[in-house]
Chain A
Amino acid sequence: MNRALRAAVVLGAGLLAALLVAAILALPVPAVRLPALVAAHLPASGVTHPVTAVLLNFRGYDTLLEVAVLALALVGLLAQSPPRELTHAPSPGEPVLPLLARVLVPFLILSAGYLLWAGAHRPGGAFQAGAVLAAAAVVLHLARLWPAWDRPGRGLRLGLVGGLLLFLAVAAALLAGGTLLRYPPQLAGTLILLIEIGLTVSLGLLLAGLFLFLAEPRSL
């Protein structure tokens, strides 16, 4: 890229920044106040934590598509990793990391369970729980206690997209009743918990998969 073009990009970036800052400092008060609406409908949402209510009820359709994005990225990633030789022979590594991992991982799994349970009424939920599960897998891998993944078998594939399929099944069942993702008020809490359990497992596998399908095969 030549010098003039670079200068133009820098100049344009500066101009954009100035305009944006000027714009946001001059913003009027918005006409619609969603927080009040969220608070008003919270009792009917099946959960008491507002963010979870938005994520899985009011805007649950976004979340459905978002899980699809994650599953899609994993499929695209699998298409890029050629089959490879994975070594499964254990080799003595440095002892500190495995020890740490053995302590850390049960703690991480417990926290994932807590986050999943907590999500209904306080910060937490399927996304954070799944992410913590994935982090546990990454730690195990770095401690050479868990191999990188090669081609997934059918069971793992089902686990990877199972959360999405479960979410779809609930969505389809509710749509057959008339409206997409309209939970009957008395079942809302149960259905959201069901979806969240499925999502926790699948998100954990998907997020871990993004790392483990890509990671350098480390000798165990």
Chain B
Amino acid sequence: MMSLTFDLLLGVALLWSAWHTLATADLIRAVVSFIVFGLLMVLAWARLDAPDIALAEAAIGAGLTGALLLDSVGHLRARRRPGDNG
């Protein structure tokens, strides 16, 4: 029963972070929520006895995708600033 409780809690956390990713007003927060979501996915894969996917999710899903998204948000922000022609 312990493990089922953990699964249900993790499921709720996944859905909560996913909802935040889409619903929060600030883009940076949205991306951070997404990275949190990715890290929770790593746990979910571990629970599903899928260590290969957990490794890939950590490095690619949360890590690289997160870095790409953060960099892009920064890029969009920087260009929106008045007087910035970069």
Contacts and interface: CB of A to CB of B under 8 A. Distances in A.
Direct contact of A and B (CB under 8 A): yes
Interface of A: 51, 115, 123-125, 127-128, 131-132, 134-135, 138, 142, 207, 210-211, 214-216
Contact of B74 (A123, A124, A125, A216): A216
A131 B59 CA distance: 6
Q: Is the interface of B mostly helix, strand, loop or mixed?
A: helix
Contacts of A123: 51-52, 55
Given A131-B59, A135-B64, A216 B71 contact: yes
B67 interface: yes
Contacts, number: 46
Interface centre among B52, B63, B64, B74 (most CB of A within 10 A): B52
Contacts of B51: 123
A212 to B, nearest CB: 10
Contact of A127 (B56, B67, B74, B75): B56
Contacts of A51: 52
Given A115-B55, A128-B56, A216 B75 contact: yes
